[in-house]
Structure 1
Amino acid sequence: MGRPVVVGTDGSACSSTAVSWAAREARLRGAPLRVLYTALRWEYHLPLVPQPASWGPAAEAAARHMLDEAVALAREAGQGVEVTSAVMDGAAQDALTLASQDAQLLVVGHRGRGGLTGQLLGSVARHLAACAACPVVIVRGEEPGGGGEVVAGVAGRPDDAAVLEFAFQEAMLRRGRLRAVHAWTHPALRGPGDMQPLVYDIDAVGEEEARLLAETLAGWRRKYPDVDLIEDVVRAHPGEALLSASRGAGLLVIGARSGLRAVFGLGGTAHAVIGHATVPVAVVRP
């Protein structure tokens, strides 16, 4: 059946929603689902600060009970999906990053049991979005479904390829529509040393950005002729445009930046989007 879809759970409401979403996604992909709970199994009595939580029969039983509940939830949502579970040693972000090496998709809730109520994005979700070896879906919203429009952010750069491949495949699996959103605020810089013009024709720039998006998507239209594709060019900040376009969608697909312009290993737009989106967000690294 190929590589599994992997979902992390900690018994929180957010992670339970992620488990249900991951099970439906595994069914769409015809893939098995692996449900993981991570724990630092500390069995020693050393004066460490902070002291890790002790691990013993009671903690083991509680973890297994939590996993059993998650597996039951996954089987109900997945309707026939093969579901397995395991307790992994280590901190959640490290253990799930390791698990992502053998997964086709990693799914987590946007905030775990230890997150602050007002926190927009948990540290584990943020780390995985930046460091996982496969695409990561951060499930937001109360009860996100598996249907609806797929929205993809298109920057007009070479690393759009991974985002578009993922987005077209998701739209095809869901038999839904794909909305490719390209946002701009100023004329694009075409090469090193270019400077933003002080005065420019908004309509002319908008037409140029529309041509850029059409050229970026031309090959993908031919590769996925059955996908209903909408090209959406918006004069707005990319984060605002994507959040607006994704309201009511089934999935929002974005890329992760790297290098000096990245924020928390993601990129400013990606970090803002996954912190405020109301739908599941797939982060695809180039």
Structure 2
Amino acid sequence: MVTMAAPVVVGVDGSASSFQAVAWAAEEAALRGAPLRVVHAALRWAYDVPLVPQPAHWGADAEASVRELLRQATERAHAAAPGLEVTTEVVDGAAAGALAAAAGTAQLAVVGSRGRGGFTGLLLGSVGRDLAAEAPCPVVVVRHPPARDGAEIVAGVTGRPDQEPVLRFAFEEAALRGLPLRALHAWTHPATRAPGDMQPLVYDVEGVGQEEARLLAESLGGWREKFPDVPLVEHVVHEHPGKALVDASETAELVVVGPRSRGKVLGSTVYALLHHAHAPVAVVRHLAPHAHRP
């Protein structure tokens, strides 16, 4: 019995950013041997729904417009990945929640960083942020076309034990693309080892830097053995993580990070990347059970 790979889901609203996300998602789906599912979120209310202000009625013109939008998105996907299996769907609801629901059976969800606004606009401050916090699978926000010359995958490594999903995703992406992986650990104060630990007011930067390098090496653990064909660069820098990762994104094909917590609070580092990164950003909360494995 042949098991179909879980799809890659991409949200589209007709903006240039969302079409750029479609092209990126199509290439990613092809790399993973997965189908692509193009989703448009819309609020389709009838006139008798008591809402104020009353949204525009979903009629024949709107239906035709959406069909044309999905046709163009399919063409863009096939141009990026000829022969890819592409399906389209219109889902009801506000964009972030509707896309998060559509991603329930997906291995990856993709959106653009800027949209057309309104109910279906893929705005970074709303849809991209909320989807990254709510989706049951990793989410990629496509801000810019990724770097091609000397490109690498960059992973933000905190040293916390809950980072295994982030590292696995980053190594898998590097293996899929045949690219090196830069494991970047940025620090501003000595790391605390246990809840309640106090950070010293005065510390030796060089000595702490060496300790942070050991922390990074420990975090990478057996990943070199699991992915022996992925060139790995360990990079420790005394810098705010957000700035360090934004700087590293200039030569990255993809930046991979995890949120600060398991809830819907993404943290300042993720927000900084979503607003300023020079490459697509993958936010990995946890891996879905059907996620890709190389």
TM-score by length of 1: 0.93
d(CA) in 1 for partners of 2:24, 2:259 = 22
The answer to whether the 8 A contact 1:112-1:122 is kept is no
Q: Deviations over 1:184-204 (max 9, x none)?
A: 111111223322212221111
d(CA) in 2 for partners of 1:198, 1:186 = 9
Q: Which runs of 5+ in 1 are unaligned?
A: none
Match of 2:53, SS state, is coil
Once structures 1 and 2 are overlaid, which stretch shifts more, 272-281 or 144-153? 144-153
The AA in structure 1 aligned to 2:283 is: V
How many residue pairs end up in the alignment?
A: 279
Deviation at 1:255, TM superposition (A): 0.2
Counterpart for residue 285 of structure 2 = 285
Counterpart for residue 105 of structure 2 = 102
The answer to whether the 8 A contact 2:146-2:252 is kept is no
The AA in structure 1 aligned to 2:10 is: V
**Structure 1 ranges of 4+ moved more than 4 A:** none
Match of 1:122, SS state, is helix
Change (3 A) 1:146 1:104: farther
Alignment of 1:146-161 (within 5 A): 148-161=151-164
Alignment of 1:48-87 (within 5 A): 48-87=51-90
d(CA) in 2 for partners of 1:120, 1:38 = 13
Cα RMSD, aligned residues only: 1.8
Deviation at 1:258, TM superposition (A): 2.3
Alignment of 1:97-246 (within 5 A): 97-114=100-117, 121-141=124-144, 143-144=145-146, 148-246=151-249
Deviation at 1:209, TM superposition (A): 0.5
The AA in structure 1 aligned to 2:116 is: R
Match of 2:275, SS state, is helix
Overall identity of the aligned pairs, in % = 62
TM-score by length of 2: 0.91
Q: Which runs of 5+ in 2 are unaligned?
A: 287-294
The answer to whether the 8 A contact 1:120-1:276 is kept is no
The AA in structure 1 aligned to 2:183 is: A
Counterpart for residue 15 of structure 1 = 18
Counterpart for residue 25 of structure 1 = 28
The AA in structure 1 aligned to 2:246 is: L
d(CA) in 1 for partners of 2:202, 2:112 = 45
Deviation at 1:218, TM superposition (A): 2.4
The AA in structure 1 aligned to 2:31 is: L
